[in-house]
């Protein structure tokens, strides 16, 4: 994710928030992988498959690591990509990871992690309502 301009990352954050206009902008302006990642983080399995099938497996793994899937977390550790590993932790609200980004003066990743953490909390809350469970 370090290869993206800050403006692109901010647009990605808005897409994570569910803003379709930013999702479409990413999709139509050369960043379909970030559009897919925003949907993958929101729980879209087809988006994960698209990332895997279109040359962005690292982003698919990141999405799974954000969801704290053990194999994905281990893959990030083994890859020695400290930024992605710390980002996956920060997205789950890990204070040490957030401080890591603060020390590195990478505020945009803190912003993104907060957006994603808010989404994860909302998803967890929605999954606890019995009337929304599909049988």
Mean pLDDT of the chain: 92
Is the Cβ–Cβ distance between 72 and 65 less than 8 Å?
A: yes
Residue 124: band (very low, low, confident or very high) from pLDDT cuts 50, 70, 90: confident
Which of the two residues, 16 and 123, has the higher pLDDT score?
16
Q: Does the pLDDT at position 131 exceed 70? A: no
What tokens were used for 100? Answer: 């890591």
pLDDT in tens, 65-109: 999 999 999 999 999 999 999 999 999 999 999 999 999 999 999
Half-sphere exposure of 129 (CA within 13 A, CB side): 6
Please give the Cα distance from 49 to 60 (Å, whole number).
8
| pLDDT > 70 fraction of the chain, expressed in percent and rounded | 93
What DSSP character marks residue 116? H
């Amino acid at each position: 994710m370090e290869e993206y301009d800050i403006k692109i990352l901010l647009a990605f954050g808005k897409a994570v928030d569910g803003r379709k206009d930013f999702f479409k902008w990413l999709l139509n302006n050369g960043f379909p992988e970030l559009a897919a990642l925003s949907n993958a983080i929101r729980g879209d399995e087809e988006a994960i498959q698209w990332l895997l099938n279109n040359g962005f497996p690292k982003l698919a793994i990141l999405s799974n690591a954000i969801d704290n899937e053990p194999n994905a977390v281990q893959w990030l550790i083994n890859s020695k990509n400290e930024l992605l590993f710390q980002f996956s932790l920060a997205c789950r609200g890990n204070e040490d990871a957030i401080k890591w980004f603060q020390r590195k003066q990478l505020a945009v990743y803190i912003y993104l992690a907060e957006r994603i953490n808010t989404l994860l909390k909302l998803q967890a809350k929605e999954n606890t309502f019995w009337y929304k469970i599909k049988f």
